[in-house]
Amino acid sequence: MDINQLKQTVSALLNPTKGILAADESSKTIQKRFDKIGLTSTPQTNLAYRSMLFTTPGVEQFLSGVILYDETIRQEIEGVSVPKYLENKGIIPGIKVDKGVVDFANFPAEKITEGLDGLRGRLEEYAQMGAKFAKWRAVITIGEEIPTQTCLEANAEVLARYAAITQNAGLVPIIEPEVIRGGSHTLEKCAQVTAQTLKAVFERINVHKVALEGLLLKTNMATAGEDNPKQATADEVAKATVDALLESVPKELPGVVFLSGGQSADMATDNLQAINNIGGPWQLSFSFARALQGEALEIWARSARGARRAGKEKNVPAAQKAFLEVTKKVSLARQGKLS
């Protein structure tokens, strides 16, 4: 493990004017998104869509990295590999390496993430392809009598093992324990569970001797459940989120990149701005997926609605314009400069 190289990658990903695009939707997930706009997911359609995002002129001003899916990292744009294309634009390529969530045996409604088997070999292959960082997601659900401590500890152990293996393979691990918004829970409950989750994670991170300076945390903001009629203001979300992080995240960690987690683009952006207005001992950035892509996807596919094929080339400039504008807006929020 070259800790200096890991630190350099972390520093570049945490560029104070940029953030990370999560474009690592699995085949199943991207089909769900395409279903809403009348498109069929194929490797070619997926690449056409993601190429529209990656080739957006000027987007490198606001993106430090992109998280890729296994399918995408093996494809090409303009005759070069996707990782090389991104690197040529000054954007760091990363890769999702978990194998998805499954039911947690004996614990109804709770999940555990699979993928540790064979991880070392996959990481070595991805590094040869040009990946500089990796991501692993765990899912934590709030409900009646859940999450259980057993579920939190099991997912924390898996995240820590993944992080240790990833650092030893020469890539920066992003750990993503996500407390999902589904449900009617309160802001206070989400903040409590988020702190509880992160405490468990960093306890195991410490036990597995993961180098904090070569690690990033991707996590949720503390928000009320999406079914709760009482949604918090951006300032309330920011205070609850930062307080939860101060309670559970080591100050030595270089940075936190927030996921949008089903929030609208405006909600996630306003909350990110408010979080950065408070600040903390870490860089507070973003790693959004739908919040960055949603409008661009709609525009790109507009003429193909019902035709079950990729968006027409004539839609690409308008889609890219929308993508660039929202990415710039989120970048300003990351700096606390959004007017």
Catalytic site includes residue 312: no
Among 218, 236, 239, 329, the active-site one is: 218
Structure tokens at 123: 């990481």
Structure tokens at 243: 């307080």
Measure the CA–CA gap between 39 and 334, rounded to whole angstroms.
Answer: 33
Measure the CA–CA gap between 219 and 203, rounded to whole angstroms.
Answer: 16
Catalytic site includes residue 328: no
- SS3 per residue for 169-226: CCCEEEEEEEECCCCCCCHHHHHHHHHHHHHHHHHHHHHCCCCHHHCEEEECCCCCCC
Among 176, 236, 239, 329, the active-site one is: 176
Residues annotated as part of the active site = 176, 218
